[in-house]
Amino acid sequence: MPQFLPLKNYRKAISIALLVPMLLAVVLCFHLYQVKLERQYQVYQAQFFVLAGQVEQETLAAQTVITSIRNSLAEPIRYELDADWQQNIRQQAGYFYRQLPDNGGEVVGLGRFVPTPELVAQWQQIMALGPSFNTALALIDELEAVVFVQDNGFAFVKRRDTSQSNLLTAIVESRFTPQFSQGITATSMPTRVFGNRYFALGQRLASGSLSQILLIYDVDKLAGRLQHMAFGGGGLALKGTQPGVVLATSKDYRELEEAEVRAAKLPWDGGVQFSYRPAAQPFTLNFAQEEASFSAPARYEALLELGFLILFIVFTFAAYVWLNAQVFIRPLKHFVRYLTYQENTPQATMNYAVPKDWQPWFLEIKRVVTQKRDALQQLQDNNAKLDEQVQQQKKALSRSLEAKERQAALLKTVLNSVPDLVYYKNIDGSFIGCNEAFERFIGVSQVDLVAREHQEVTERHLALLDLEQTMNRQGQSLTDTLLLEGSSYLITVSPLYNDLRKRIGTLGVARDISEQQQALTALRASEQNFKAAIEYAPNGVILLSVDRLVLELNRAARKLFTRVEVGSSLYSVFEDADVEALNDVLDHCLQERQGASELSLAQQDPKRWLHLSVSLVWDKQKNPKYFVIHIQNVTALIRARLDAERANHAKSRFIANISHEIRTPINAILGMVSILKSELDASKEQQKLEQIERAAQQLLAMLNDILNFARLESGQGKPNNQPFCLVDLVTSLSGFITPLSSAKQLAFEIEVDPFIWPRLIGDEARIKLVLMNLLGNAVKFTEHGRVGVSLSLQPDLQASGQAIKFCVWDTGPGISERDQARLFDAFTQGNESSSRTHEGIGLGLAIVKQVIQLLGGEITLCSKPEVGSRFEFTLQLERAALPDDEHHKSLFVISDEQAPLPYLTHQGSRQGSVADFKALSAPASVHYLACDNPAHVAALSQTEPGLNARWLVPDTAACTDVLPANTDALRLFAPVFYQSLSTCSMEAPRAALPEPCLLSPLLCIVVDDNPVNLDISTTVLQQRGATVVALSNAEQIVDICQKLRPDVVLMDLYMPNIDGYEASRQLRCYFDRDTLPIIALTANAHEQEKQQAMATGLNGFLVKPVTPADLCAALQDYVPDSEIIFDHPFALAQMMGKEALVRTMLEKFAKLCEEYVTTLHNTHSAPELVSLAHTIKGSAAGLGLRRLAAQARECETAAKQEQQAAIEQVSDEQARLLAAAEQTLCFISFWLKG
C-alpha cells in the first residue's frame, strides 16, 4: 500500500518544531557558562585574600617569637650556672658539643672548649633563652628547631627531635643561613637533611653582625598545612626573600608568564593567578591555576544543564508524538488499511489492538479466541520450563546437602586434630559441640555434652561462665588467662554469627600456656643470674664505649681501679705508653672489624701486671656498639715466672701456689657457667657462656700444662700403658678439633692406615695430649687452607707390636729455621715479639717433646715459611686383644685392598671384591655387609634388590646417598672405618639416655671460705634436689654437725683459722666414716695431697674445678632413704607463692619447735607423747618439713602401741623425734640466715 501522504508532512513539521527549542537551549547555556566563570573568579579572589590574611598572621607570630628572643637577649644576664655545667662536654675535631640535661637543648661551639669569661657569659645568656625556645616549639607545630648563633660560632639549638644528629650538622655547617638585608627578616632556600626538607626564617641582631636568630621549619609539614587550606584545585606557593619557591602544595606548581597575563582579555584567560605580599614581610603568597582546570567545573555544569534541557525537550516531543500516534494516527492508519482490504485484511492488522468502535464485532470475537489459544500454548510451555527448573533445583539441593555433610565431617576432623580446647554453645548457653581435647578436659563425651548447660555438666571451671557473661555484656570477643586444673590457659570467647550477621551462639578456644609462662619466668631468673655472674666474676669486666668512656664495670674491676667510675676515662690509671698500646688495640678492633684482641699492661703504683682481653660488640647492622674488656691480674704469674728464672725452688713453690689459687676462680667460673647454661635458653646468652667456658678451659689447660711440665721436668712422670681403642682416640681428636677448624673455615683431614690394629696398648692419655697440642697449634696458627693428622704403619720386626708414625701437618705460615732451634724450649713461642697475635705461655711443644721422649719416641719438624709445617713421631705400641663377637662371623667386607686385613680375619670376618661376594655359595649366611666404595654400594643395591643383609658404610654423603630408601644402615666414622668394623657392635643399639642425677633428699653441709665457690656448690646441689647448709668457715663445725646431723659434708681443705684437715680431725672424734661422710674439695691436684686427705679420715677427694657431674657422682652413694628435711617448693605453694610468708611461718614454727623440744624432754606417758607427736606431725607437714613430720608419724604410731600408762625412760622413737626436732630447729636457723 502506498504511504499515507498526510502523515509525511506531519513528520517534517514535528522535526522543525524540535530543532528550534534545542538551539535556544544551547544559546542560554553558553550565557550561563560565562556568568559562572565570572562568579567563580570572584569567589577564588575572596578565598585567596582570606588565606593571605592567615599566612600574614602566621608570619607575624613567627616575628613575635623572634622579637621575644631578641628581648630576652637584650635583658641583663641573671642566670646562674650549675657547678657541673662543664661536665659531659664532648670535644670533637673542630668543635665542642654538649646536650643540656632535662631536654634543655644543645650547645655547639667552634674550636676547643676553654671556659673563658666570655664563654661563661655566652653560656649564661643562652641558658636564659630556654623558655622562649620552648614556647616557640610549643606554639608553632611546623617549627622543627630554634637556633641562636653568635658571631664567634657559639650556638644554642633547641630541636623537636634529638634522635638524629643530621639536622644539627646542617645547622653547624651554616646551610640554613639566609641572605639578610638591613632591618628585614630573611628566609633561606629549602635544604634537604636526611630525607626531610627544611628552610629557615631568621633575623640578624644588628647590621653587620653575624649573630642571628633562626626558626627552622619542616617544609613538608608546612606544605601539608597549606594544602589543607588550598581551594579550587589550584596550586599555592610561598616565596621568600631569595629567588625561587620556598614551598608549594604540589610538585608541578607553575606560575603564569607575565606576557600571558598582559595578553589576557578576561581575568582567567590563560589561567588564574593571584599574588600577595604584606608590607615588610618576608613571604609572598602565590596562587596559580591553569585555565582548563579553572573553567572545568563551570564548563561541566553548563554542559550538564544543556544535556538536561535537550533531554527534556526530546522526551517532551517524544511523549507528544507517541500519544498522538497511539490515540489518532495508528488507529486511523489500520482502519484505512482495513477499509482498503476488507475481508483480506492481513493477519498483522488483525493482531493490533485498535479501538473496538473501529472494527466489526465478529472480528473482535475472532481476536479473543486467537488470544485464548495462544495463552493456553504459552501456559503449557511455561509448565514444562517450570518442571525442568524444579528438577534442576532438586539436584542442586542434593549436591548442597552432600557438600555440607562433607564440610561438617572435615570440620570435625580439623577440630579434633587441634590440641587447643574448642567448644561452641547455643544462644541460650547450652552446648552445641566441642572437639576431643575439650572432651578430655571437661571429662564428659560430646554426646552427653550437647543440649546441656555448663552447670548441668560440671561445677568446675565456672570462670569460663564469668568470661562468657562479660563477653555477652560487651558484645565482642574477649581474651583472658585463667588458671584451670593447675595449668594456665589463654582463653578466647567470641560470639557466633550466621550469614545474616545475626548472633546464634558462642565460640570458646583455650590453649595451655603453662610451659610458655614457666619459660618466661626461667628466662628472667637466668638473666639475673647472668648479671650476677658478671658482677661477681673474679676477673675484672669493663664495658667501654666507642668514645673510650666507661659504661659499666664489675666488682673485680672496681677493686682493681678505685679511681675509675662510670662515665670517666680508663686512661687515667695507666702510663702514657700503656695508654698508647691500649688505644692501638681498640683502634685495631674497630678498623679490622675483629672480634677480640689481647694485650698485657704493667702498672707502676702499685706494681702489678694486668692482662686485658678486648672484644668488640656489634649491633644487628654490624655497627660497633661498645668494647668488652676482660681484665685479669696476672701479677702473680709474672712474678712467679721471674722468680722461676732466678731459682728452681722458687719456681716449684710458684707452681704449687698457682695451682691452688687459679683452680679456685676457675672452679667459680666453670661452675657459674654450668649453672647459667642449664637455666638460659637464648642462643645469644648461650654463646657468651660458651665463650666464658672456653676461656676458663684455656686457663685450666695452661695450668695443666704448667703442672705437666713440672712433673716431666722433675722426672716424676711414668707411662701408663693400658689397652685402648684406636677408634675412640681418633673420634675424640675429631670431636675436639673439628669445631675449632670449622670456626676458622679450615679443612680438617684425618688419614688412618687400615692395617693399624684396632686395639693397642699404650698411654692413651699422653698420646692424646700430644696430638691435641699439635693439632691445636696447627689450627691456631693456620688462617687459610687445611690441617690434618695421619697415622701410618711402619715396618716393624716385633711380631707382637706395631710401629705407628703419627704426623700432624698444616698449610699455615710455617716456621723459620732460626725459630725451629728454640721451638721446643719451655716458655717459648715462635713469635716472641710484643705484637704477636696468638695467646699461650709457651709450654705446649716443650711438654710434647718430653711426653714423646717419655713414651720412647722422638719428634721431628719439617717446615717452610709460607708453605706449612709437619710434625712427626713414631711410637712402638703392642697389640691388644680384640672383642669376641659372633656377629663378625656373618660379616662380609667388600674392600679394594689387595691383602686382607689381619684383625678382621682374626675375628672371622670374610673379605673380598664384589665378584667374590656374588660368588658365595651361601649368601644367606651374610647378615652384615660392609663397604666404603660408593660405586660398589650403588651397584649391589641395584643388582641385588633382595639382599637381606644390614649395610655398614662410612658416614659420608657419597655412601649414604646411594643406599636404598629406608635402609637400616650402620654409619661408621670414615677415617677409621675398617677399625670400627672390628670394635663396634653390629646391632648398634641406641645408647640409653643417662638418667638425671638427683640428690634428693640429701642434706649436705658445704664449707668453703670463697663466697663464689660456696654459692656455686650450693646452687649446683640445690638444682639436683639436695638440701644445702652453706658455711664460710669451720669454726663451729662440730657443734653444727651434732645438731644438724647432715648426710654428708663437702669440705674445702684450705681455709683461714681452721682448715679442712683440722676440721676433719675434730669431726672424726665424734663421727666415724660411715656416720658422717666427709668429701674433700681442693684446688691442689698433687697426689700427695690426696693421700694426706684420705689419711686424715676423709671419704672422698675432688679437685677444682669440679664439674656438676663429678660432684653428683661423688655424693650419689650418700643419698639416704629418708624424707627430705625441707620441701621448699611445697611450702611456697602452701603460702600462695609468697616467700616472705614462708619465712614468717618458719620463724613462728622455730619458736614452737623450741617448746616441742622442752616438752619432749618432760614427757613420760604414752597419751601425752601421742598428742605431742600428732601436733608436731601436722605442723611440720603443713610447712614442708617432711623429715620431722615422718619421724613424728613413726613416734605417734609406736606410742599408740605402748601398753603402759607411764614411761619411765624415753623410748627410742621419742629420742629420734627429739633429735629430729633439734635437727629441724638448727636447719631453720641456718635457712632464715640465708
Chain segment 683-702, per-residue pLDDT in tens: 656 666 666 666 666 566 66
Instruction: Report whether pLDDT(150) > 70.
Output: yes
Residue type, 216: I
Among residues 983, 1017, 1034, the one where a domain terminates is 983
Residues 633-671 have pLDDT tens digits of 888 777 777 776 565 555 555 665 566 566 667 666 766
- 860-864/801-810 β-pairing: unpaired
Give me the pLDDT at residue 1019, please. Answer: 83
Least confident of 261-275, 683-697, 808-822: 683-697
Give me the pLDDT at residue 650, please. Answer: 53
CATH of residue 566 = 3.30.450
Residue scoring higher pLDDT (790 or 814): 790
Give me the pLDDT at residue 86, please. Answer: 76
Give me the pLDDT at residue 930, please. Answer: 86
Kindly report the backbone phi and psi dihedral angles of residue 995, in degrees, each rounded to the nearest multiple of 5, phi listed first: -70, 145
Residues 1056 and 1187 both lie in one domain: no
Residues 540 and 463 both lie in one domain: no
Give CA–CA dist 372/379, Å, rounded.
10
Residues 1107 and 1148 both lie in one domain: no
State the average pLDDT over residues 775-804: 85
State the average pLDDT over residues 499-509: 87
State the average pLDDT over residues 153-173: 83
Residue scoring higher pLDDT (429 or 331): 429
- 212-218/143-149 β-pairing: antiparallel
**Does residue 792 sit in helix, strand or coil?**
strand
Instruction: Report whether pLDDT(545) > 60.
Output: yes
Residues 1143 and 1072 both lie in one domain: no
Among residues 687, 707, 727, the one where a domain terminates is 707
Cell of 890: 656373618
Q: How confident is the model at residue 842 (pLDDT cuts 50, 70, 90)?
A: very low
The closest alpha carbon to 1176, from 1164, 1166, 1187, 1188, belongs to 1188
Residues 761-787 have pLDDT tens digits of 998 878 888 888 888 888 888 888 999
Residues 1044 and 1082 both lie in one domain: yes
Residue 1151 and residue 1199 in contact, taking contact as beta carbons nearer than 8 Å: no
Quote the mean pLDDT of the chain.
79
Asked whether residue 412 is domain-assigned, the answer is no
Residues 904 and 931 both lie in one domain: yes
Instruction: Report whether pLDDT(232) > 80.
Output: no
State the average pLDDT over residues 113-120: 80
Buried b (16+ CB within 10 A) or exposed e, 506-535: bebbbbbeeeeeeeeeeeeebeebbeebbe
What's the domain count of the chain? 6
Instruction: Report whether pLDDT(199) > 80.
Output: yes
Residues 774 and 827 both lie in one domain: yes
The closest alpha carbon to 1083, from 1103, 1110, 1107, 1099, belongs to 1103
Give me the pLDDT at residue 240, please. Answer: 81
Residue 54 and residue 283 in contact, taking contact as beta carbons nearer than 8 Å: no
Residues 946 and 1009 both lie in one domain: no
CA-to-CA dists, residue 247 to 159, 203, 1159, angstroms: 21, 20, 95
Least confident of 605-609, 941-945, 1226-1230: 605-609
Give me the pLDDT at residue 327, please. Answer: 63
Residues 732 and 873 both lie in one domain: yes
Residues 722 and 790 both lie in one domain: yes
Give me the pLDDT at residue 132, please. Answer: 82
Asked whether residue 1190 is domain-assigned, the answer is yes
Asked whether residue 429 is domain-assigned, the answer is yes
Asked whether residue 178 is domain-assigned, the answer is no
Give CA–CA dist 48/229, Å, rounded.
10
Residues 1069 and 1008 both lie in one domain: yes
Give me the pLDDT at residue 1078, please. Answer: 92
Give me the pLDDT at residue 566, please. Answer: 83
Give me the pLDDT at residue 279, please. Answer: 73
Among residues 707, 739, 757, the one where a domain terminates is 707
State the average pLDDT over residues 779-808: 86
Give me the pLDDT at residue 789, please. Answer: 93
Q: What's CA 488's distance to the chain center, in Å?
A: 24
Q: How confident is the model at residue 1004 (pLDDT cuts 50, 70, 90)?
A: very high
Asked whether residue 76 is domain-assigned, the answer is no
Residue 191 and residue 47 in contact, taking contact as beta carbons nearer than 8 Å: no
Counting residues of the chain whose pLDDT is more than 90, the rounded percentage is 4
CATH of residue 1134 = 1.20.120
CATH of residue 960 = 3.40.50
Residues 860-877 have pLDDT tens digits of 888 888 888 999 999 999
CATH of residue 1114 = 3.40.50.2300
Asked whether residue 675 is domain-assigned, the answer is yes
Instruction: Report whether pLDDT(233) > 70.
Output: yes
Counting residues of the chain whose pLDDT is more than 70, the rounded percentage is 82
Asked whether residue 1108 is domain-assigned, the answer is yes
State the average pLDDT over residues 707-727: 69
Least confident of 487-501, 711-725, 1053-1067, 1211-1225: 711-725
Residue scoring higher pLDDT (508 or 207): 508
Q: How confident is the model at residue 365 (pLDDT cuts 50, 70, 90)?
A: very low
Give me the pLDDT at residue 614, please. Answer: 86
Residues 890-922 have pLDDT tens digits of 888 888 766 788 888 888 888 888 877 877 766
Domain that holds residue 861: 718-879
Asked whether residue 808 is domain-assigned, the answer is yes
Give me the pLDDT at residue 259, please. Answer: 52
Strand-pair partners of 158? 146
Instruction: Report whether pLDDT(291) > 50.
Output: yes
Residues 553 and 677 both lie in one domain: yes
CATH of residue 447 = 3.30.450.20
